Amino acid sequence: MRVEGGREDRLNSGIKQNLRAASANPANESTLIVGNSGSMIRLEPDGSVSNLSSPTRENLRAVRWNTTGSRALIVGNNGTLINYTEPTASVVDDGRANLRCVSWRPNSDEALIASNCFAEEFIPSPNLFTFEATKQVLNGVSEGRSDLIGVDWNPDGNFALVVGYDVVWHTGLIARFDGKNLHPIKFQNDHVYPVSVAWDPTGKVAAIVTSVAQPHLGEGQILLWDGEEFKELYRSDEFFFSQTAWSPIEFKFAAIASTEARTFDS
């Protein structure tokens, strides 16, 4: 569905798999959309859709174009990382667990990738990676018992916010990543499951949304963080969030929620 100026247009994707993430190319205004079973499609500004050749059948969870529109990264289950430079999609090795989110460092060829902390059969995995696009190298930069689900670099590029939750104690995690280490930010985190974070274009405020691990365990929330304090905008025990994003031209954001959203699906 495309939403513009209050108008909603349903578009025919031509596929039956669930679609899970989209990213607009700043160079040509096309949109790359990914989903389950390796689904990859391209949506043109005129609404036409074309299927793209995918190198995997894994479920794909997130996609993000870099600032120039020359390269996109796609992440998914079982360590799937795809480097996409139109029209070629190639797999990058060294991922382990389910990869959850991508954020490009501004004015850089480096990206941060959030990950679950365990691969199959509880094999420990780094939960945060850096990806060097020029070298096509993926490096683990953090480990622990938290599934990291969302990540977004501040627009000035000096730190990123990372969100997720401790899979043992079921406590939420919101942390600053300074390029080398994670520094947790204190907040009321008992049974709070942050799943997505996005900075406004000015870098003054970050929006953070939460979901639940299972019914009746936590609430859906929208939080704003100004670098010092959290402000709660919304709370619900019925609707749980999966994504949030800011408008690039106005001080407003959107968040996607449903009654069925769960942290493991985000």
Tens of pLDDT, residue by residue over 26-85, are 999 999 999 999 999 999 998 899 999 999 999 999 999 999 999 999 999 999 999 999
Q: Within this chain, do residues 36 and 81 fall inside the same structural domain, yes or no?
A: yes
Question: Can you give the pLDDT at residue 217?
Answer: 85
Extract the tokens encoding 19.
């679609």
Q: Are residues 188 and 69 in the same domain?
A: no
Structure tokens at 98: 């389910």
CA 213 to chain centre: 17
Statement to judge: residues 60 and 93 lie in one domain: yes
Strand-strand pairing, 72-76 and 110-115: unpaired
82/189 same-domain check: no
Full DSSP string of 140-194: EEE-SSEEEEEEEE-TTSS-EEEEEEETTT-BEEEEEE-SS-EEE-----BT-EE
Domain boundary residue among 109, 144, 179? 144
Of the candidates 144, 165, 182, which is a domain's last residue? 144
Are residues 130 and 11 part of one domain? yes
CATH number at residue 130: 2.130.10.10
Domain boundary among 91, 123, 144: 144
140 and 173 in a single domain? The answer is no
Residues 105 and 11 in one domain: yes
Q: For residue 130, give the amino acid letter.
A: T
Same domain, 225 and 255: yes
Q: Which domain holds residue 78?
A: 1-144
Q: Give me the phi and psi of 78, to 5 degrees please.
A: 55, 40
Same domain? For 248 and 123 the reply is: no
124 & 227 share domain: no
- The predicted pLDDT at position 97 comes to 96
CATH code of the domain in which 259 resides: 2.120.10.30
User: Please, are residues 242 and 266 in contact by the beta-carbon 8 Å criterion?
Assistant: yes
pLDDT value for 83: 97
How far from chain centre, in Å, is Cα 86? 21
* pLDDT value, residue 6: 66
The reply to whether 62 and 192 lie within a common domain is no
Residues with pLDDT less than 70, the chain: 1-2, 4-6
Q: Judge if 81 and 170 occupy the same domain.
A: no
Q: How many domains does the chain have?
A: 2
